[in-house]
């Protein structure tokens, strides 16, 4: 869902969702994203979450769908 929000341009919504969903499992990622957002770089904060382990390895996430499209 965070990926869909980010793609739709709702960066704040995506960040809030990832922080609530994965923040306890990845406090370092959450803090780094907060630093980017605090500096006004919402796109950078989104990239932090998009490449974090907890989001990247989420089998229900869009990354899994993307990986399935690649040739072995």
Q: For 18-61, what is each residue's pLDDT tens digit?
A: 999 888 888 888 999 999 999 999 999 999 988 887 666 665 66
Instruction: Give the model's pLDDT for residue 13.
Output: 94
Where in the chain are the domains? 2-69
Per-residue pLDDT for 64 more than 90? no
User: Would you list the DSSP string of 2-65?
Assistant: HHHHHHTT-HHHHHHHHHHHHTTT-HHHHHHHHHHHHTT-HHHHHHHHHTSHHHHT-TTSHHHH
- Tell me which of 23 and 67 has the higher pLDDT: 23
pTM given for the model: 0.70
């Amino acid at each position: 869902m965070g990926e869909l929000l980010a793609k739709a341009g709702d960066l704040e919504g995506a960040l809030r969702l990832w922080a609530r969903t994965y923040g306890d499992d990845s406090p370092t990622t959450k803090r780094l994203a907060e630093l980017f957002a605090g500096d006004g770089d919402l796109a950078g904060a989104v990239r932090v979450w998009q490449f974090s382990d907890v989001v990247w390895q989420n089998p229900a996430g869009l990354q899994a769908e993307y990986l399935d499209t690649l040739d072995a």
